[in-house]
Amino acid sequence: MQRRVVYPNRVLPYLLLAPQIIITVVFFIYPAAEAIRQALYQQDPFGLNAQFVWFENFALVLQDPHYWEAARVTLIFSLAVTLLAMAPALLLAVMADRVVRGAAGYRTLIVWPYAIAPAVAAVLWLFIFHPDIGYVGQGLLALGIPWDYRMNGAQALLLVILVSAWKQISYNFLFFLAALQSIPRSITEAAAIDGASGMRGFWLITFPLLSHITFFLLVVNLIYSLFDTFGVIHALTQGGPGVATTTLMYSIYRDGVVNVDLGGSSAQSVILMAGVILLTMLQFRYLEKRVHY
């Protein structure tokens, strides 16, 4: 879409763009290029010497069993978070779409966790799942289940999944609700007359109409689970016990910031960057159908 009427001006548009472009180049493009460059060098721990090593860092990363373990954890973590953040959100949205009385009130009560930082969500649930002071933690122990997410890797992973999903439900809820409310009543009513109502009507008529938004949310939630959940993991388990909750993102942080292995951490960054670009392009395919350039 093009505007017909524009301002003729040679200098002004560049001045207007300057702040955004300068920040983008200095803090986005250059560091990303730098990450790619560092991934091709091997540095001594003091940063004094760097040797060009082609793809050796990538080879080292891909041969490292820890990296594949992190990839496995990330896969389980991301899929579980995405599923657990989307399914309850859809259920709640369908219910909120159905009620008339109190709809606005329910929306407020379900929307506000969006405002909670992932790290703070972790702290809130720690008060509940802590084996010594938390209600659920104590309850599980009383039932004879040896609950301690600080010692048991599977329990740690379960907890970071639950917290990360919990925090994201509000976001998905809003999008599902908006999509449901844009479906014309006449469609669902016609389906009901034809005998497709209730659960059957939902899966036959309503859900296919939500396929667009579902796909969009799938990508958004995967990206969320890859990056924004860093705070949850850092606050709750620090990637442990062992490497049980070390995702690819956490591994970049640990190798780069804690262990100061620049080449290895950069190589991991570049691999993950490629993943994000792929996911974003998938998202574009969705955008293409709605945005007119």
Partner 1 sequence: MRRPHNWLAHFILILGALIFAFPIYLAAIGSSHDAGTIGRGQMPLLPGDQWLTNYQQALQSGQGERVRGNPALGLMQNSLIMALGITFGKIAVSLLSAYAVVFFRFPGRMFFFWLIFLTLMLPVEVRIIPTYAVVADFGMVNTFEGLIIPLIASATATLLFRQFFLTIPDELVDAAKMDGAGPMRFFWSILLPLSRTNIAALFVIMFIYGWNQYLWPLLITTSSQMQTVIVGIVKMIGTGEAQTDWHLIMATTVLALLPPVMVIILMQRWFVKGLVDADK
List beta partners, residue 43.
Answer: 50
1 binds partner 1 (CB under 8 A): yes
Binders in 186-205 for partner 1, by CB under 8 A: 188-189, 192
Smallest separation, CB 71 to partner 1 (Å): 15
168 binds partner 1 (CB under 8 A): no
Smallest separation, CB 278 to partner 1 (Å): 9
Cβ distance to partner 1 smaller for residue 80 or 96: 96
Site string for partner 1, 103-132 (x = CB under 8 A): ---xxxxxxxxxxxxxxxxxxxxxxx-x-x
Binders in 29-48 for partner 1, by CB under 8 A: 29-32, 34-35, 38
Contacts of 261 (CB under 8 A, 6+ apart): 255
Binders in 61-80 for partner 1, by CB under 8 A: none
Cβ atoms of 53 and 41 within 8 Å: the answer is yes
Of 41, 202, 215, 227, which one interacts with partner 1 (CB under 8 A)?
Answer: 227
Q: What are the C-alpha distances in Å from 230 to residues 83, 106, 121, 274?
A: 18, 29, 12, 19
Query: From the CA atom positions of the chain, what is the Rg in Å?
Result: 24
Bond before 241 cis per omega within 30 degrees = yes
Cβ atoms of 205 and 187 within 8 Å: the answer is yes
Smallest separation, CB 194 to partner 1 (Å): 14
Site size with partner 1, rule: CB under 8 A = 104
247 binds partner 1 (CB under 8 A): no
242 binds partner 1 (CB under 8 A): no
273 binds partner 1 (CB under 8 A): yes
Q: Per CB under 8 A, which region of 22-30, 48-56, 76-84, 151-159 contacts partner 1? A: 22-30
Distance (Å, whole) CA 168 – CA 221: 8
Cβ distance to partner 1 smaller for residue 55 or 112: 112
Closest CA to 218 of 126, 285, 137: 285
Taking each helix axis from N to C terminus, what angle separates 153-181 and 65-98, rounded to the nearest 10 degrees?
Answer: 40
